[in-house]
Amino acid sequence: MASKFGFAGGIPERKVRPIWDAIDSRQFKNALKHVTTLLAKHPNSPYVLALKALVLERMGKIDDASAVSLTAKENLFSNDLLSMDDLTLSTLQIVFQRLDRLDLATECYEHACGKFPNKMELMMGLFNCYVREYSFVKQQQTAIKMYKLAGEEKYLLWSVCSIHLQVLCGNGGDKLLVLAEGLLKKHVASHSLHEPEALMVYISILEQQAKFGDALEILSGKLGSLLTINVDKLRMQGRLLALAGDYTAAADIFHKILESCPDDWEGFLHYLGCLLEDGSIWCDEAVNDPVHPPKFVSCKVSHLTDEQFDSRISIASAFIRKLQTDTVDNSVRGPYLATIEIERRRHLRGKGNDNNLMDGIVQYFCRFGHLGCFTSDVEMFFEVFTTDKKAELSEKLMKINDTLSTPPTKTLGLSISLFKIKQQLLLGDMFNSSANDVEVSCVQMFEMYCKNIPLSKDLDPQESMHGEELLSITSNILVQLFWRTKNVGYLVEAVMVLEFGLSIRRYVSQYKILLLHLYCHFGALSVAHEWYKSLDVKNILMESMLHHILPQMLVSPLWTELNSLLKDYLKFMDDHFRESADLTFLAYHHKNYSKIIEFVQFKDRLQRSSQYLVTRVETPILQLKQNADNIEDEEGILQSMKCGVDFLELSNEIGSKSLTFNEDLESRPWWTPTVEKNYLLGPFQGISYCPKEILTKERETSLKREIEKKSLLPRMIYLSIQSASLSIKEHVEVNGSVKPDITLELKLLLERFSQFLGFSLSEAIEVVKGSFSNGERSVVSDSNLIDWLNFTVFLNAWNLSSRELVHPDRNEGRPIIWNILDSLLERYILENVRSMEPQLCSPCSKVQLLMQLVTEPLAWHGLVIQSCLRSCLPSSKKKKKSGSAYQSSSNLAHAITESVQQLSLVLEGVIKQISESNRRPEDENSDGILSLLRKDEHNDGPGRVFHVLETFISSMSNAEVGDRIYHSLKSWSPADVARKMMTGKLKVLTAFSAICESKLKLLQSLKQQIAQV
Amino acid sequence: MTTIRRFCCNDLLRFTNVNLDHLTETFNMSFYMTYLARWPDYFHLAQGPGNHIMGYIMGKVEGQGESWHGHVTAVTVAPDYRRQQLAKKLMNLLEDISDNIDKAYFVDLFVRASNAPAIKMYEKLGYVIYRRVLRYYSGEEDGLDMRKALSRDVDKKSVIPLKRPVTPDELEYD
Ligand SMILES: CC(C)(COP(=O)(O)OP(=O)(O)OC[C@H]1O[C@@H](n2cnc3c(N)ncnc32)[C@H](O)[C@@H]1OP(=O)(O)O)[C@@H](O)C(=O)NCCC(=O)NCCS
């Protein structure tokens, strides 16, 4: 069998080379020409056919490629053994993978391996196929065969890893681990092990079975020397000893680690845990989400006696003191923070005293308070204190700060740490003080920033400036003042502070994130989006950072921008899902076995990402919104998504999935700790009201419901369109073939949908008939209004083809549900238009709701109308014959006419309102914004910080702040910022207005059609 | 206050505070995973108290004969943790592994010619500018190829600077 390159299927290399060359240089047409010539000579060669399929696929001719590749496969199977070479197979594999038919590639390799059971090359290909399909059992079987054949350690480990995968990521039971262990043991006995990663796998297989002693024995034996990074080996030993309950020996190991690396904080925590015989740090490891590990070390109350406890603690203290004196490098913080942790443990034991703990923190402050990381280092210790004690500590820190004499950059660092402590950790305190006091400290911080700009004048613009954080803190406090006073001037002031900072150095991502959220709050979403883009969030960062902008964009009219956000993100995720297995195979290939499980688990994690699932549902919904003004286009879109069937599946499955949350919520501003919360929209409750901990379980439950509900929409829209046209045909074709399955399915979905509203279908229908009230009480609120209206739209559509609801008013005007729907749409849209304040700094939530009303229920209803009209109006071709359908269904005709009329008026109202707010000249508006910051005589309210800012800009000198900063500040203007804010807001309204106009145009064309009947 | 350990996939979801830095590139997934799958000992992460991520280093080892060398693809430290010798520690780790485990001749890296802070750091750590690579970054900015010889290169041949700049297509490795 000729399997060397160039003789695949007996075809000489020089004939094939030009094809590959052309493919590699993307000259597909040329490649196709070569292939066609070659195919004339070898019409049945699977290899040449596979090449042709590859070229066709690359040209985008998917169907042709499919057909050709299937022929290739058939020929491969029916042919003699000649063509069963690796090159043919791997070429086919590439084609099938690109066509998303991994199963067919696997079949080819399975077939080939059946014919040549001992060919390693083919088995390798087959193993690779199973890796791509995540078929762990078959992987295992294939690898074992390879191991038996070649006797290599590598194949044994492939097989062991495949077993481990079954246990961790498949549904294999723990018993399989015994099998894996046995395989390894036998191999070690006869051949030993040669790769460090092989040893790591062996250890983890043992650890998983709680065979800690065995694992330790192996590590300390000859095999242990495979681990070349000594500290890695020690950590492994320490962990195994602790898990085995041998805390004394474990403590010794961690002692060693600390001696060689006194700064290893985790090493210290492990050391202390072992001394105190507390293994909770290892138990937590197993329970916690690795992406959101806890900030605090949890610890159990120790079972040691008091004497034991004291003596262990003094051992630890003595050791740490020794580390402190032995370490010459004065940037090593570990041993100093350790002192505080030891004090905390005492405290938890009930033996501590607040003063000692405070002293520890104060000393740490003296040493490291100037560092940016000071606050995050010590924040975990504050939990221990009561509010009073926190205030006392803050006093102490301030006092000591006054006594420290340090160079200016350090002094600045210390002050920032103090402010941060006050702001982040002792927030409650801040709200006991008067708004005025808070404002005073705000001004102080800002002044401090300005005063210290000269320190940074010679820094490279790439480098962080001294005191950068002061501006984030200042603006955070200004936002708190807004929440407290509802004076929107504070928000504007916060924006100014941050924009000012970014004009000095444009790379500060912290400022950008805060600004982005502030602009969102103003409804200047396009500006927010610009700032988001400037963060250059791409690849995996999208998974952790998209949440900053996506939720707001989903309810905005900036469809183009939204579309590209969704597309980029989905492309990234889908690319990863496609490539991931190949990279896993790379890890197999390079014998880095520990990465195999890591990769598979990571892919699984991303596949269950809450954000990914939301995006998968929102993307088709956006498409449907964008095309709703043209029923033919909409139907095209629906066809391309299999009429919504796939999404129904998602809806059915989602309940049993467990979602992962991968957002970096730490990066969110304090006032909106999760996507769902925004404290600024509610009344001021005191900052202690803002809980930091995130209730993931609750988020998961509500998100799953949301996805389950939303993924019904595409199908319901599809069925509604069908149902509407059916109703007309019924009128026309007496005894015609009514398709009850459409009506029935829609009814089932309505039943499901009504559950999300909290009612049964019949109850929900009653609520609709009562115009959204249940008896006296109204059941709708801003949060479920869209759902109720969507429901009513679908209900109406269903009602058109079903006869279940009796029409008492059958011949008197419009069908009742239709009638109600129109007036509900009118009522809610106009209500929200009226409350769209002319105030330009008003938050954008009303506009968002309005936008949703127009682009969802109104749009879907528009489709139902289009569908009805299309079925009853004579199409241009058969104009003469029919023409009667419209009249014959007179109720409906009436309904349509009225509806079109009424909705047109509503839309005109919206457009008018928007154009009124747009009409005011920008300058007038931006002046209005700036005037919020100008102080009156009483000196109350916002503007103090802004005043300092303006004074600074007008009085700074070139020599003081340096050329670069001087010029960028001179060309910066607050009026520009105000204008930007305004234009941003107007841009959103204009986009919304355009959407309304397009809908209005549709309605007008419908009117014309009706008039022509 | 640093625990240095191997970088793992989940860390990709936790490194935003480091990667939002404008000089730190966020690569595509297959790039990261290729490094993890091939050179896991060259990809390390530093973690501090409260499980905060402080920074990381990513690199590889490659080359033939006397150009068998360690390469630093990225080293970065979150702003709050800078100037505390962390980058130095991470660089030393990679140099150690290249030197002692993989017995490489030298370690090299590319840096933007405009990234003055990083260049200063590398110089402080003993790297010399071996050559300039014209328009290395997206065909715009020049890159500097900096090198440091390891113990195996007894005569320090690998770090004798080239006289003339090169273009990206002249590079032996990417
Ligand atoms: C460059 C960078 C990695 C330095 O990290 P770091 O942990 O602060 O550096 P270290 O504290 O280990 O610095 C070691 C030595 O390098 C030099 N150095 C580091 N940063 C410097 C700077 N900004 N300016 C001048 N010298 C500097 C100093 O001599 C320093 O020793 P010293 O503090 O005792 O004087 C960090 O600034 C960073 O992440 N920058 C953004 C990403 C980047 O540019 N990476 C490099 C390109 S891949």
Q: Which residues of A fall within a CB distance of 8 Å from B98?
A: none
Q: Rounded mean pLDDT of B54-83?
A: 96
C-beta A463 within 6 A of ligand 1? yes
Q: Is the pLDDT of residue B60 over 90?
A: yes
Half-sphere CA count of A580, side-chain side, radius 13 A: 23
Q: State residue A1's pLDDT score.
A: 35
pLDDT in the model for residue A771: 83
Give the residue among A197, A381, A263 at the shortest CA–CA distance from B46.
A263
- Gap between the Cα atoms of A726 and A798, Å rounded: 10
Q: What separation in Å is there between the alpha carbon of A664 and the centre of ligand 1?
A: 26
Question: Atom 3, ligand 1: which residue's CA is nearest?
Answer: B76
Task: Identify the pLDDT of residue A534.
Answer: 97
Is A372 close to ligand 1, i.e. is its CB under 6 Å away? no
- B residues 90-149 closer than 8 Å to A (CB): 97, 100-101, 114-117
Contact A462 B116 (CB under 8 A): yes
User: What's CA A656's distance to the chain center, in Å?
Assistant: 20
User: Which runs of consecutive H residues, i.e. helices, occur in B20-135?
Assistant: 29-38, 86-96, 116-124
| Chain A residues within an 8 Å CB radius of B85 | 329, 331
Asked if the structure places residue A356 within a domain, the reply is: no
Atom 22 (ligand 1) nearest CA: B117
Interchain pair B79, A464: CB under 8 A: yes
Pick from A183, A172, A229: nearest CA to A206: A183
For residue B86, what is the domain's CATH number? 3.40.630.30
- pTM more than 0.90: yes
What total number of domains does chain A contain?
1
Reference A540, options A681, A666, A664, A672; nearest CA is: A664
**By CA distance, what is A580's nearest residue in B?**
B30
Identify the CA nearest to A423 among candidates A440, A398, A441: A441
Residue whose entry in the numeric block shows the structure tokens 């990769």: A599
Q: Do A462 and B23 touch (CB under 8 A)?
A: yes
> Ligand 1 mean position to B80 CA, how many Å?
12
Ligand 1 probe mutation, B19, B22, B77, B108, most atoms within 8 A of CB: B77
What DSSP designation does A454 have?
A: G
Instruction: Tell which one of B45, B57, B83 to mutate to probe ligand 1, the residue whose CB is within 8 A of the most ligand atoms.
Output: B83
pLDDT at A805: 67
Altogether, the residues listed in chain B come to a count of: 174
Decide if A40 is inside a domain. Answer: yes
- Specify if A66 maps to a domain: yes
In short, whether B88's Cβ falls inside 6 Å of ligand 1 is: yes
Q: What pLDDT sits at residue A735?
A: 45
For A334, name the nearest residue in chain B, comparing CA atoms only: B1
Surface-to-core class of residue A54, CB atoms within 10 Å of its CB (0-12 exposed, 13-18 middle, 19+ buried): buried
* Residue type present at position A91: T
On chain A, the residues whose CB falls within 8 A of the CB of B81 are 372-373
Ligand 1: residue whose CA is nearest its atom 32:
B83
The verdict on A355 touching B (C-beta cutoff 8 Å) is no
Higher pLDDT, A914 or B6: B6
* Torsion over CA: A608, A609, A612, A616 (sign): positive
Q: Which residues in chain B have their CB less than 8 angstroms from residue A540's CB?
A: 12-13, 26, 29, 32
- Whether A291 contacts chain B with CB within 8 A: yes
Give, using CA atoms, the residue closest to atom 45 of ligand 1: B76
Q: Does a structural domain hold residue A758? A: no
Q: How far is A499 from chain B (nearest CA, A)?
A: 18
C-beta of B21 in contact with ligand 1 (< 6 A): yes
Cα of B98 to nearest chain A Cα, Å: 12
Q: Is B63 on the interface with A (CB under 8 A)?
A: no
Number of domains in chain B: 1
Q: Which pLDDT value is given to residue A875?
A: 58
- DSSP assignment string, A12-33: -HHHHHHHHHHHHTT-HHHHHH
The torsion angles phi and psi of A779, rounded to 5 degrees, stand at -100, -5
CATH code of residue A59: 1.25.40.10
- Answer yes or no: do A295 and B27 touch at CB < 8 A: no
The residue among A340, A315, A486, A373 whose CA lies nearest residue A941 is A486
- Tell which one of B35, B57, B82 to mutate to probe ligand 1, the residue whose CB is within 8 A of the most ligand atoms: B82
The CA distance from A977 to A499, in Å, is: 8
Question: Which chain A residue has the Cα nearest residue B24?
Answer: A536
B6: nearest CA in chain A? A232
Report how far ligand 1's centroid is from the alpha carbon of B87 (Å). Answer: 6
Q: Which of A290, A296, A462 sits opposite B10 (nearest CB)?
A: A290
Please give the pLDDT value at position A424: 66
Cβ contacts of A813-819, under 8 Å, gap ≥ 24: A813/A891, A813/A894, A813/A895, A813/A898, A814/A891, A814/A894, A814/A895, A814/A898, A814/A899, A815/A891, A815/A892, A815/A895, A816/A769, A817/A768, A817/A769, A817/A792, A818/A895, A818/A899, A819/A895
pLDDT at A137: 97
Is A462 within 8 Å of B101 when comparing Cβ atoms? no
How many angstroms separate the alpha carbon of residue B117 from the centre of ligand 1? 6
HEC string of A586-613 equals HHHHCCCCHHHHHHHHHHHHHHCEHHHH
Left, alpha or beta for A609 (phi > 0: left; psi -120 to 50: alpha)?
beta
Query: Where in the sequence is the domain holding B158, given as residue range(s)?
Result: 3-170
Look at B13 and A540 and tell me if their CB atoms are within 8 Å.
Answer: yes
Angular region, B147: left φ>0, alpha ψ -120 to 50, beta rest: beta
Out of A462, A575, A587, name the one closest to residue B115 (CB).
A462
- Whole-angstrom distance, CA of residue A860 vs CA of residue A879: 28
Query: What's the domain range around A16?
Result: 1-117
Q: Rounded CA gap, A716 and A713, in Å? A: 5
A52 in a structural domain: yes
Tell me how far apart the alpha carbons of residues A1006 and A1009 are, in angstroms, rounded to a whole number.
5
Chunked in runs of 10, what are the mean pLDDT values of chain A (1013 residues)?
A: 51 87 93 93 91 95 95 86 79 94 96 90 95 97 96 96 94 92 95 94 95 96 91 94 95 96 93 92 78 79 87 95 88 92 90 89 95 91 84 90 89 93 64 78 94 92 91 93 90 96 95 97 94 97 98 95 98 96 97 96 97 97 97 96 94 92 93 90 72 76 95 97 81 52 94 95 91 79 93 94 62 70 93 72 73 96 94 58 54 84 94 82 75 73 92 92 93 93 90 96 92 75
Among the partner-chain residues B12, B27, B41, the one whose CB lies closest to the CB of A229 is B41
Question: Ligand 1 centroid vs B78 CA: distance in angstroms?
Answer: 11
Average pLDDT value over all residues in chain B: 95
| Best residue among B44, B121, B125 to mutate for probing ligand 1, ranked by most atoms within 8 Å of CB | B121
Q: How many angstroms is it from A332 CA to the middle of ligand 1?
A: 16
Closest ligand 1 atom number to CA of residue B74: 48
